[in-house]
Amino acid sequence: MLHLPDRCRAVGGVLSRIGDKWSVLVVMQLSGGPKRFSALKRSIGSVSQRMLTLTLRGLERDGLVLRTVTPTVPPRVDYELTELGHSLRQPVEALGGWAMENYRRIEAAQKAFDEVREEGGG
């Protein structure tokens, strides 16, 4: 096993790209196959059009998502994961699994922390 500092920087780089508000959601939504812009927007729901566009551009630029334009009227644009995009699913889902298993513990810790703070502060 290589020592950690290298991985740290690598993780830092990855997180600064996919650690934004929407990238991971989009990748997950594209797990099942291609989706067009509006379908993607609907399936995520709370994302603004602007941010979905920007997020998809970013993912496309990173080579994680492939954008296919069908120049009809009205235009149709499909997005799908590249092989690289699919390979990201595994570690992301590992993180998702961890989150699922532990978010209750985290919430409990936050609650406890905040209560102690209140007592100490008030």
Partner DNA sequence: CTGCATCCTAGGGGATACTG
Partner DNA sequence: CAGTATCCCCTAGGATGCAG
**Which positions touch DNA (CB under 7 A)?**
20-22, 36-39, 41, 46-51, 53, 56-57, 67, 69, 74-77
Please say which residue, 20 or 62, places its beta carbon nearer to DNA.
20
Q: Which positions touch a copy of itself (CB under 8 A)? A: 4, 6-8, 10-21, 24-25, 28-29, 31-32, 60-64, 84, 87-88, 90-100, 102-103, 105-106, 108-110, 112-114
Name which of 2 and 74 has its Cβ closer to DNA.
74
The Cβ of residue 50 has, within 10 Å, a number of other Cβ atoms equal to: 8
- Report how far residue 38's alpha carbon sits from residue 11's, in angstroms, rounded to the nearest whole number: 31
**Contact partner, 34, from DNA, a copy of itself, none, Cβ < 5-8 Å per class:** none
Q: Which residue spans within the chain are E strands per DSSP? A: 35-36, 65-70, 76-81
Question: Closer CB to a copy of itself, residue 60 or residue 80?
Answer: 60
CA 46 centroid distance within chain: 14
| Whether the Cβ atoms of residue 18 and residue 88 lie closer than 8 Å to each other | yes
CA 9 to chain centroid: 19
Which residue lies nearer to DNA by CB, 36 or 86?
A: 36
> Which of the listed partners (a copy of itself, DNA, none) does 12 bind, with a CB threshold of 5 to 8 Å by partner kind?
a copy of itself
Phi, psi torsion values for 97, nearest 5 degrees: -60, -45
